[in-house]
Amino acid sequence: MTNETSKVIPIQPVSYSRSRQAGESQDVLDHIIDDFQDNPESMQYFYDLFRSVYCHGDEIKHEGMLVGTTCIQAPEELIYAFGATPMRLCNGSYHYDQKGAEFMPSKSCSLVKATLGMLNSDNVIPKIGKPDMIVNPTTCDQKKKSSSMMGDMGYKVYDLEFPNVKESEASRQYWQRSVRQFATELRQLTGRKLTKKGLQAAFNKTGRAQAAFRKLHSYRLLSPSIILGKDIFLVTNAYFFDDITRWTEKVEALNVELEARKQAGFKAVQSKAPRVLFTGSPPIFPNLKLPLLIEEAGGVVVADESCSANRMLYDMTAVDEWMVNDMVDSLADKYLKPCTCPIFTKNEDRKRRLLDLVKSFDADGVVYQAFSGCQVYEMEYRSVAEAFNQAGIPMLYVETDYSPDDKGQLSTRIEAFLESMKNRKKQKQRALG
Amino acid sequence: MTNLEHIRTAVNNVQFNRFRFWLQIFFFALLVYGGYLGIELGKHLPTFACGYNKELRGGMCFLMPLQHWMEWPWEKLFSAAALTILYGFAIFFLWFIALNRGWCGFACPVGTIQDWITSLRRWTGIRYSRYSEGQYKGLGIIKWVLLALMFLIPLGIGGGWFTHDLKSPFCMICPGRTVVPLFGLDVSQWSIDFSSRTNMIMTSLGLLVTGLFFIGAFVKKRFFCFYCPMGALHYLFSKAALLRLNKEGAKCTRCGDCYRVCDLQIKEIADDIQNKNIMTDDCIMCLKCVAACPEPGALKATFAGIPIFEATEAGFIKRMNKGRTDDK
């Protein structure tokens, strides 16, 4: 834009690393690293990765064609099988949230706005390059409506049709057809064929990554915790864009270190630190506001039910016959049946999963994050709160967005919540002892 | 870890399909060729150890004597002689409660042959078919109809309403009669008996079912088991059996992995989170679902209340090749 002022004083283009956007990431990263003691050494890779990608704006390299995904419901194994690389586009930056505000009504999900804002900007961070295709599963309304907006920005968008009901056999078959259709689309895009070998290799890639994740997940069962939730979120967030094989190796290295910590009886937190289960709208870097507030206040996030971490990596495919058809169908099943996304008509499975997580991870309470404008999570609040109430588990419901403005107020609420959990714990122990 | 825990871990991590393959071969050899070794397990086996496989068999399918007894004249059937039947039934029951429908999933020669046909199909690269939900519900009744007829027709013979040529009506249409003796190089059952109209119809029906059996088993996993009246009979007593298939609903994520691998397309195995005893009338207790379950303890096989094979994360990861490194 040229106006009168810039004619007089030419505005120098500022390098990305000095921009406000990079500053946002820089702040959060410094916070994650410097405000906590005893960070695992193997986390250094992830800290460096985020610094390079988000703070310096370094380019992310990938193999073959690039397929952007706007949701975990897009079967990434298929994308790998066609020699392309999937890249999750869901964005967590406040900078892009503001940029994307023009596309959506004022009270809409920050995540969707930020993703649109990112895709609409000239300098996309993470610097992945222009996707050859964006696959947009038709999940919540806001993501659905983003489809045409992304199309208008000049992206090639594929709507992956996703059912609203998951219990019925009809929806299962509809979704299986949908996934097969997606395979056909990928074949046209890449000009390659879907082979048993290619698909098997893709299964091995994600299977090994998932096995590593499950192992990592299992270390969180330990009480007192040996790793903090902020690090786990960083690790799973890296899965969005990092090379999958390298990611897996780094997680395996982290697991080795955690095993050593376990043997040594290491404690990352005090024994009485309240253990928190995190659920709801996904924390995506740099918006790790809520998990960080919890852990700064002396709590520890021991498990989560969110699509930027546990839900993305936990559930695994089972194949009966290792042939292309059965493998594709099993993929479809994996991406539909265990999903606890609130976009479905019923949420029994989500409630059961949450209660099971509380039990197995020995959580003292639950923090439920709902992004303002994420209607489905807001609507499920009532029934989830009721389920926890019945089970006698305290829950804090937090409606927030990417803006840092409510940090002070949230910090007070979280501290009070953690304090009440500590008291409950004490009372329980007294009653027992 | 104690020794017992070591054993438990080893069992739960087993390459289940391979284990089952060899166990099936063992049972097949025992029931189809056991006679060679002088093995005789009696005439009350709750599985298709076909009696038409004459000298070689190591035991006999209970349905054969059962139909014979039902054909007795009614005076005899309702006299003290019926004690023989009760005795026979008691033996059948004792055999049955040991393995429950594990007899179907592991021991039944006809079931094993179907699994071999499935392997053949897999080798050709052809995919399997499934019934639609409607077909599944409708066709599921057939085994109960066959079971009812298996009692009613012989009773009718005893009552003098039907001709004696209708004897052992189920055996006549059972694919076991034609297929199992083949393993003793006996093809005598592969013929149509023209001695009477009834015989002609029954033997023709038998060959027709045999044809259906081969085609069906090729395109559909465990095709015949879905219609098997022995399975239906089992189900009536399954609550008393020692071997059980249990599910802990709270641990289930309803991921559907068990339903995926189920040869009998049983949706309840994934969706039902209320019932602990998860066995349905179609279940053949092959335990493939337990092997394919990634949630620790969600599915388990128990014997007399003691868990013997349990879903574990490590077992799942191993069996489904999850931890595999790709060698370039």
Query: What integer pLDDT is reported at residue B328 of this predicted model?
Result: 39
- Give residues with Cβ within 8 angstroms of B116, minimum separation 6: none
Backbone region of residue A392 per phi and psi (left: phi > 0; alpha: psi in -120 to 50; beta: other values): left
Provide, as residue numbers in chain A, all residues whose Cβ is less than 8 Å from the Cβ of B17.
none
The answer to whether residues A317 and A330 touch, using CB atoms and an 8 Å cutoff, is yes
Cα separation, A111 vs A100, whole angstroms: 10
Taking an 8 Å cut-off on Cβ atoms, the answer to whether B250 and A352 are in contact is yes
Q: What is the pLDDT of residues A74-133, one digit of tens each?
A: 999 999 999 999 999 999 999 999 999 999 998 899 999 999 999 999 889 999 999 999
- Give residues with Cβ within 8 angstroms of B308, minimum separation 6: B11, B301, B302
What is the DSSP secondary-structure string of A91-108? ---HHHHHHGGGGS-SS-
Query: What integer pLDDT is reported at residue A13 of this predicted model?
Result: 73
Q: How far is CA A426 from CA A36, A367, A419, B18, B299, in A?
A: 25, 20, 11, 52, 36
Average pLDDT, chain A: 94
| Structure-token match 């004490």, residue found | A426
Phi/psi for B49 (5° steps) reads: -85, 90
User: The dihedral of CA B209, B210, B211, B216: what is its sign?
Assistant: positive
**Whole-prediction pTM value?**
0.92
- Give residues with Cβ within 8 angstroms of B43, minimum separation 6: B51, B59, B60, B62, B64, B65, B88
Query: What integer pLDDT is reported at residue A103 of this predicted model?
Result: 94
Flag whether pLDDT at B1 surpasses 70: no
Angle between helices A289-296 and A229-238 (to 10 degrees): 160
CB pairs under 8 A between A and B: 97
- Give residues with Cβ within 8 angstroms of B305, minimum separation 6: none
Nearest to B158 by CA among B72, B68, B274: B72
Query: What integer pLDDT is reported at residue A158 of this predicted model?
Result: 98
Tell whether A201 is within 8 A of chain B (Cβ).
yes
The answer to whether residues A401 and A372 touch, using CB atoms and an 8 Å cutoff, is yes
Mean pLDDT on B58-85: 93
- Give residues with Cβ within 8 angstroms of A209, minimum separation 6: A239, A244, A247, A248, A251, A313
Higher pLDDT, A419 or A12: A419
Average pLDDT, chain B: 93
- The full set of domain ranges for chain A reads 25-432
Optimal mutation site among A321, A340, A355, A359, interface B, most CBs of chain B within 10 A: A321
Cα separation, A341 vs A335, whole angstroms: 11
Tell whether A338 is within 8 A of chain B (Cβ).
yes
Query: What integer pLDDT is reported at residue B327 of this predicted model?
Result: 45
CB atoms within 10 A of CB A311: 21
Taking an 8 Å cut-off on Cβ atoms, the answer to whether A169 and B125 are in contact is no
Hey, which residues 210-239 in chain A have their CB within 8 Å of chain B?
210-211, 214, 218
Q: Is the ipTM of this complex over 0.95?
A: no
Query: What integer pLDDT is reported at residue B325 of this predicted model?
Result: 61
Q: What is the pLDDT of residues B151-181, one digit of tens each?
A: 999 999 998 899 888 989 999 999 999 999 9
Cα separation, A264 vs B115, whole angstroms: 50
- The full set of domain ranges for chain B reads 16-230, 242-317
* Confidence class for position B326, pLDDT limits 50, 70, 90: low
Q: What is the pLDDT of residues B211-263, one digit of tens each?
A: 999 999 999 999 999 999 999 999 999 999 999 999 999 999 999 999 999 99
Query: What integer pLDDT is reported at residue A75 of this predicted model?
Result: 97
Flag whether pLDDT at A218 surpasses 50: yes
Hey, which residues 115-174 in chain B have their CB within 8 Å of chain A?
122, 125, 127-128, 133
Cα separation, B241 vs B247, whole angstroms: 16
Cα separation, B96 vs B149, whole angstroms: 22
For residue A143, give how far its alpha carbon lies from the nearest alpha carbon of chain B (Å). Answer: 24
Query: What integer pLDDT is reported at residue A428 of this predicted model?
Result: 86
The answer to whether residues B265 and B130 touch, using CB atoms and an 8 Å cutoff, is yes
Cα separation, A96 vs A278, whole angstroms: 24
* Confidence class for position A3, pLDDT limits 50, 70, 90: low
Specify the CATH number for B242-317; select among 3.30.70.20, 1.10.579.10, 3.40.430.10, 3.40.50.10860.
Answer: 3.30.70.20
Nearest to A336 by CA among A323, A320, A349, A354: A349
The answer to whether residues B60 and B49 touch, using CB atoms and an 8 Å cutoff, is yes
The answer to whether residues B101 and B230 touch, using CB atoms and an 8 Å cutoff, is no
Q: How far is CA A164 from CA A75, A181, A351, B98, in A?
A: 17, 18, 18, 44
The answer to whether residues B240 and B73 touch, using CB atoms and an 8 Å cutoff, is no
- Alpha helix stretches (DSSP H) within B220-296: 229-237, 257-261, 268-271, 288-291
Q: How far is CA B284 from CA A81, A152, A203, A293, B222, in A?
A: 35, 55, 29, 53, 9
For residue B319, the chain A residue with the least C-alpha distance is: A318
Mean pLDDT on A185-203: 96
Query: What integer pLDDT is reported at residue A429 of this predicted model?
Result: 85
Total residue count of chain B as it appears in this document: 328
The answer to whether residues A126 and A49 touch, using CB atoms and an 8 Å cutoff, is no
Taking an 8 Å cut-off on Cβ atoms, the answer to whether A167 and B271 are in contact is yes
Kindly state the tokens that stand for B169.
């009506």
For residue B298, the chain A residue with the least C-alpha distance is: A356
Mark A262-286 as b/e (b = at least 16 C-beta within 10 Å): eeeebebbeeebbbbbbbbbbbbbb
Taking an 8 Å cut-off on Cβ atoms, the answer to whether A353 and B133 are in contact is no
Which residue(s) pair with A390 in the sheet?
none
